[in-house]
A = this chain, B = another copy of it.
């Protein structure tokens, strides 16, 4: 079978290097090109020395991609840059999987409000499909533009969607208390991400105004049909990788622990990358892998449904999910090239 060609735009960041890690060993894929404006002309190991002697890639400028004929292009670009790329290149020459937030909303209004930017390619917003395979597999199959989900939304939507969809909880007043490793904030040095500032530390940030709030609400609503309202509080964990998300919600009807657990087992039984745990999961059990582990329970005393879910923010929360989407678009088995076993301990 001839291999599929893919291009990666933006190699400098963590998402770019994870895409190279995953795609360079994917059995059905050839990496056509990887771009970097700052390092065009250099080898990829200049920026990512761990790839030395493993992949042999000469970085190019995005201006040169006209010389290539990829089937799919991954955009590992900052918010705001992806939309310019879409505006310039469109979707005719290749399909696009965009890892930024630029196409996760169907209309520009919410985007512009929460991202505080004008959208320069709003026409593509409607065509984009939200790339969470467990919820939107069928639309992804034929998509030309996939908006790869945010890391926090992936970790929150997977446990909440079944509860709302199956009418178990009130879709308003959901509390999402999420904790993420620092790679979620990107590869660029900043004061708040300076090693001594984070080491041995822990803090909440962006209270009540994090951009992932409307993403979670919109997607839950789109999938379940219920108008959803969440209070989302992110925290910064002093580790490199991983998100653990705890949610609290109120049942709509009489539930019990077994009922809640069974729902998750039945909904996710056939999913390759969602594992339903019988005890609270921990981050190391999914490190480096594409798994989302979910534990759900019910507290009779306070009448609350509680879920705890974990993902590697760079894999299921970014590059891994992007490859999963690509597999679907290419008609490959969804787990192809994604069977990495979690690195534990």
Contacts and interface: CB of A to CB of B under 8 A. Distances in A.
Given A204-B246, A342-B50, A238 B235 contact: no
Given A240-B195, A343-B288, A179 B282 contact: no
B306 A208 contact: yes
A259 interface: no
Contact of A49 (B49, B250, B277): B277
Interface residues of A, number: 84
Contact of A287 (B200, B237, B246): B200
Nearest to A231: B302
A196 B280 contact: no
A86 B97 CA distance: 55
Contact of A235 (B53, B187, B241, B246): B246
A62 interface: no
B244 A203 contact: yes
8 contacts: A182-B195, A182-B196, A189-B189, A189-B194, A194-B195, A205-B280, A231-B306, A235-B244
Interface of A: 14, 17, 21, 24-25, 48-54, 172-173, 175, 177, 179, 181-183, 187-191, 193-205, 207-208, 229-231, 233, 235, 237-242, 244, 246, 248, 250, 275, 277, 279-288, 293, 295, 297, 299, 301-302, 304, 306, 308, 314, 339-345
